[in-house]
Amino acid sequence: MQLNLGEIIMFTIWIYGFSCFVLASTTKSNSSKDVEVRLLDNQNAPLVATLDMSKADERIKQFVSDAIEEKIKETVKSKQFLSDALKAIMREQKGDFKSQISDFERNLTDQLTDYIDEKVGKINKENEKTGDPKQRPIDCGDVESNKGSGIYKIYPKNSNLGFDVYCDFEVDNTGWTVFQRRINGKTDFYRGWEAYKNGFGDLEEEFWLGNQKIHTITKHGNYELRVDISDFDGNIAYARYVTFSVGDASTNYKLTVTGYSGNAGES
């Protein structure tokens, strides 16, 4: 078969076109595969790295969080320990401070009392030397008997303050300082230590003068004790002691009497 020139040219063009088509298809397919691989590589590799960094970040965050939490716990424990220690120190200091104040007040009171008593004692001695007619009575023996029995204020030796007592001028016509009287039983004498220390009752009726006051009177000078008793039938008896004194609180106000005489019987 003979082909003319036009047919040969068309056939050549067709072959060339087909070849270009095949080549283009092949190139396009390879190019697309390469891009796809590269895209796949570009997507997976950073993604894996990103996932790894995320896990590392989580571990770091957890480590930091645990460290901070532990530090906070230690700080709280330290704060509580310091708070407890500070409270204990404050309680101890408070107790010591109160004790120091109490000791200071007690010492100051004792010093002032001793100072005042010393000054009063010197004044009394000066009055005794000069025979001052205005000298204050130290007991009922210094009260003028013509005034009669009743309540008078006395100022025992070396005592800074005076106090009221009942003076009796009917017995032996001398001034007796009465420290106890019971008449009708209206006053309760069943009392405690403090009541007997400070005294109670009514000086005009029934009373107890007080251990501290009796001690203040008898600690300086010589005193006698007289006890007069009577019953509801009018029977009267008495007991007398030539020496009489009462100690201070440190001795529990110890009573000392000697030289009994009378008809009441010694007890």
Give 130-164 pLDDT, tens digit per residue.
Answer: 445 457 899 998 888 778 899 999 999 877 788 99
The domain spans of the chain are 1-135, 136-262
The pLDDT mean for the chain works out to 76
Among 40-44, 94-98, 106-110, 123-127, the minimum mean pLDDT is found in 40-44
Q: How far apart are CA 40 and CA 212, in angstroms?
A: 112
The CATH H-level (homologous superfamily) assignment of domain 136-262 is Gamma Fibrinogen, chain A, domain 1 (3.90.215.10)
pLDDT at res. 124: 62
Residue 82 has pLDDT above 90, yes or no: no
Residue 245 makes CB contacts below 8 A (sequence gap 6+) with 218, 219, 223, 255, 256
Candidates 116, 118, 121; CA nearest to 136 is: 121
Region class of 195: left (phi > 0), else alpha (psi between -120 and 50), else beta: alpha
Q: What pLDDT does 152 receive?
A: 94
Between the alpha carbon of residue 98 and those of residues 18, 94, 95, 204, the distances in Å are 117, 6, 5, 43
How far apart (Å, rounded) are the C-alpha atoms in residues 167 and 144?
10
pLDDT of residue 21: 46
pLDDT above 80: residue 228: yes
**Which structure tokens are listed for 86?**
């500070």
What pLDDT score was predicted for residue 251? 93
pLDDT at position 153, please? 93
Which residues lie below 8 Å from residue 137, measured CB to CB, with a gap of 6+?
143, 152, 153, 154, 155
- Give the pLDDT score at 49: 46
Tokens of 179: 């420290």
Contact predicate 137/144, CB 8 Å: no
- What are the pLDDT digits (tens) for 157-184? 877 788 999 999 988 778 899 999 998 8
Could you give the CA distance from residue 185 to residue 21 in angstroms, rounded to a whole number? 147
Confidence of residue 186 (pLDDT cuts 50, 70, 90): very high
